[in-house]
Amino acid sequence: MSSMADISRRRFVEAMGAVGAFGVMGLAGCGSQRASEAGSSSASGESGAADTITFAQGADPRGLDPAYVDDGESAKIMCNIYDTLLRYDTESCDVVAGLADMPEISEDGLTYTFKLHEGVKFHDGTDCNAEAVKKNIDRQLEPNRTEDMPYASFVYGSEETNNGVASVEAPDDTTVVITLRAASTPFIKNMAMALAAPVVAPSAYEDGGNSNENPIGSGPYKFVSWDKGQNIVLEANEDYWDEEHKAKTKNVIFRFIAENSSRVTALTNGEVDIIDGIDASVVPTITDAGYELFDEDGMNINYLAFRNDSGQFTDQRARIAFCQAVNTEEMVKSLYGDYAGVATSVMPLWMAPYDKDVKQTAYDPDAAKATFEELGIKEVSLYTYSNVRPYNSIGGTALAEAIQGYLADVGVTVNISQYDWTTYQTKVETDAFDCCLYGWVGDNGDPDNFMNLLADTNVSMNVGRYSNDEYKALIQQGLATVEGDDRDDIYLQCEQMVAEQAPWMLISHSKNLAGYNPKVKGFYYHPTGVVHMEGVTKEA
C-alpha cells in the first residue's frame, strides 16, 4: 500500500469517532476543490449552463420504491427523488438534518422525537407530514411487512430479535416519535439510508398505486418516465423546500448501458456526461481522451457466498478447501490492478482498524485438493451476474472465470451460470446452487451495516443463508453497545468467526470509480455508492 493510501486510511480511522458516524476526512483536500468548482459553475450556469446531465449505469433499477428494493442501481436514482428524515453530509456518512432536525433522544436511548420542517409537499402536491412518515415506517413493520421488503428488517429491526422499532406515533403534523425495543447505536444512521428509510408519498402506494414504477417523493428531482432497458428521466422540483439542496440542473437522465466498453465509448463520444462501473483497463481510455476520473476509497466488500444451509458447502471443510484453492491476492492484483485491494476483513480496512488481528484462509492448493478428494467433491455450481457492480468493476463473468481456473487446478470443475443483475437477484433467492458471487456497498458507515448481513434472515441480505446463534448474539450486543473499544471488540469477534467458519470467501474492496466530462462540476460519488445530482452542473 502506498504512503498516500496509508495517510488516507489513517484519516478515515481518526474520523470514526464523531457522533457515531465516520467522516471521510482523507477527502478534505479534494472536497475543497470540488466545492470551489461547484461555486464557479453556479456563476457560469447563469450565463449558459447545460439544462440536462446524463449519467450512465450498467443496469435498470429493480424498482423505485425504497421499501421494495435492495440494490445500488435503484438507490442511485431514488436518492434524487426522495427525502429522508436525516441525511448524510455531502462527502461522508456524518449524519445531518434532513426532512427533520436532529432528534431529541430519551435518556434510556429508546425514544427519538423528530421535528419536521413545516409545509413540505410531495411532488403530487400532497402533504409530506408526520402522518406520511408514520405510514412509510408502519408499512415496513411487522405484521404489515411483506416478504418483498428486503431492507425492512435491516433498518427497522424485528420482534424475533427484540430490536428495532416498536412503535411510531404522529402526535401532530410536524412531530414523529419513534420508540425502539432496545437501544441501537446505528439507528440514527439508518434514518439517512437510501433504502427503506426514504419517505414515499402514501398516494403513490395506496389504493393500488404502483410506487415501484411511478414514484412520488419530496426530493430535489421529480420522476418523469422510465423506458425499460433504456433510461429514466427526472426533472428538477422547482418547489423544493430546501433551498440549499435545490437542483441546479433542470433535467437528469439515467441511461442503462450494460457493456463497460460501451459506457466508456458513450462518455468519450459525448453521448453521456458521467459513467460508473469502470475498471482499470479503461482508465487510460478515459483520461487520455481528456475526461476526468473520480477515484477514491470505497465502502464495500466483494465476496463469494457459499450455501451454508444445503448442498456440498454445509461442510466447513469444503468451504475452507475452496478458499485454499484460490490465490486471492494474485487474482485481485491481476483483475483489478490498483483500483481494488485484497479483502482481509469483511469491512473496508479504514472501518476495521483491527484487521491485523484477523487471519483469512491462506492459499494452499495442495491442501485444497486433498480435502476435495477426501470429500468426493468433483464439481460445483457457481452463480454470477453478467454486469459490473460498484464492488466489482470487471463484472461477475470475468471474476467467476478466474475462480473457475483456480478450482480446475485442484481437480474441481466449476459450472458457471450467469444472468443479468435483475434476473440474478431473483435466481439466487429461488434456485439451488453451491456458491454465488455477491457484494455489498455500505449504507451508513457503521460496522453493524456490514456484519449484520450474516445475521439477517432475509435471503437478499444473507444470500448464503448462514445462521449461527453465537454470531447473532454478538450482533445484538453490537447494536446495543455505544461506540468505543467494547463495541470494536464485539465486531472483531464477528470478523474472527467469519474467517474461521468461512461462510464467505472474501475477495476485495473496490475503489469508487467514475468517469466524467470535464465540463461537469460539483460531481461526487458518495461513499454509500449513491450519486446526489442536485448540486451537479455542466458548462454548456
pLDDT at 5: 33
CA distance 472 to 455: 5
Average pLDDT, the chain: 89
What 3-state DSSP class applies to 227? strand
pLDDT at 47: 52
pLDDT over 70 at 372, yes or no: yes
Bridge-based pairing of strands 251-256 and 231-236 is: antiparallel
Cell (9 digits) for 61:
433499477
Q: Which residues neighbour 246 within 8 Å (Cβ) at sequence distance 6 or greater? A: 220, 236, 237, 240, 534
Specify whether the CB–CB gap between 123 and 216 falls below 8 A.
yes
Of residues 501 and 18, more confidence is placed in 501
Question: Mean pLDDT across the stretch 445-472?
Answer: 93
What per-residue string of b and e applies to 100-113 under the rule 16 or more CB within 10 Å gives b? Answer: bebbeeeeeebbbb
Highest-scoring range by mean pLDDT, 7-21, 337-351, 428-442: 428-442
pLDDT at 281: 86
Degrees, nearest 5: CA angle 539-245-257: 55
What 3-state DSSP class applies to 242? coil
The count of structural domains within the chain is 2
- From 138, 166, 197, give the residue that closes a domain: 197
Q: Which has the minimum average pLDDT: 53-62, 105-114, 195-204, 347-356?
A: 347-356
pLDDT at 277: 87
Is residue 162 situated within a structural domain?
Answer: yes
Is residue 455 situated within a structural domain?
Answer: yes
Q: Read off the CATH number of the domain in which 132 is found.
A: 3.90.76.10
Is residue 32 situated within a structural domain?
Answer: no
Question: Mean pLDDT across the stretch 379-398?
Answer: 92
pLDDT over 50 at 7, yes or no: no
* 353 band by pLDDT with thresholds 50, 70 and 90: low
Of residues 252 and 421, more confidence is placed in 252
Degrees, nearest 5: CA angle 497-389-293: 115
Residue 143: asked if its preceding bond is cis (omega within 30°), the reply is: yes
Is residue 270 situated within a structural domain?
Answer: no
Say if residue 309 is in the same domain as residue 182: no
pLDDT over 60 at 170, yes or no: yes
Question: Mean pLDDT across the stretch 141-166?
Answer: 91
pLDDT at 25: 26
* 12 band by pLDDT with thresholds 50, 70 and 90: very low
CA distance 279 to 338: 10
- From 197, 222, 240, give the residue that closes a domain: 197
Say if residue 306 is in the same domain as residue 190: no
Is residue 283 situated within a structural domain?
Answer: no
pLDDT over 50 at 32, yes or no: no
pLDDT over 90 at 4, yes or no: no
Question: Mean pLDDT across the stretch 437-444?
Answer: 93
Type of residue numbered 409: D
Say if residue 309 is in the same domain as residue 181: no
Is residue 182 situated within a structural domain?
Answer: yes
pLDDT at 45: 44
pLDDT at 513: 92
Is residue 367 situated within a structural domain?
Answer: yes
pLDDT at 212: 97
Is residue 353 situated within a structural domain?
Answer: yes
The pLDDT tens digits for 256-299 are: 998 889 999 999 999 999 999 888 889 999 999 999 999 998 89
pLDDT over 90 at 356, yes or no: no
Q: Which has the minimum average pLDDT: 7-11, 78-82, 320-324, 388-392?
A: 7-11
Of residues 43 and 264, more confidence is placed in 264
Question: Mean pLDDT across the stretch 482-488?
Answer: 90
Share of residues in the chain with pLDDT > 70 (%): 91
pLDDT at 21: 32
Say if residue 307 is in the same domain as residue 455: yes
Question: Mean pLDDT across the stretch 427-451?
Answer: 93
Question: Mean pLDDT across the stretch 181-210?
Answer: 95
Share of residues in the chain with pLDDT > 90 (%): 77
What 3-state DSSP class applies to 72? helix
Cell (9 digits) for 485:
473499544
Q: Read off the CATH number of the domain in which 452 is found.
A: 3.10.105.10
Question: Mean pLDDT across the stretch 236-243?
Answer: 97
Question: Mean pLDDT across the stretch 141-164?
Answer: 90
- From 197, 231, 251, give the residue that closes a domain: 197
pLDDT at 1: 34
The pLDDT tens digits for 499-516 are: 999 999 999 999 999 999
Q: Burial of 397 by CB count in 10 Å (0-12 exposed, 13-18 middle, 19+ buried)?
A: middle
Torsion sign across C-alpha atoms 310, 71, 141, 346: positive
pLDDT at 329: 96
Say if residue 336 is in the same domain as residue 458: yes
Cell (9 digits) for 316:
466447513
CA distance 236 to 246: 8
pLDDT over 80 at 408, yes or no: yes
Of residues 18 and 354, more confidence is placed in 354
Which domain, by its residues, includes 184? 90-197
Of residues 17 and 255, more confidence is placed in 255
pLDDT over 80 at 63, yes or no: yes
Say if residue 487 is in the same domain as residue 355: yes
pLDDT at 48: 78
Of residues 327 and 485, more confidence is placed in 327
pLDDT over 80 at 157, yes or no: yes
Bridge-based pairing of strands 111-115 and 104-105 is: antiparallel
* 397 band by pLDDT with thresholds 50, 70 and 90: very high
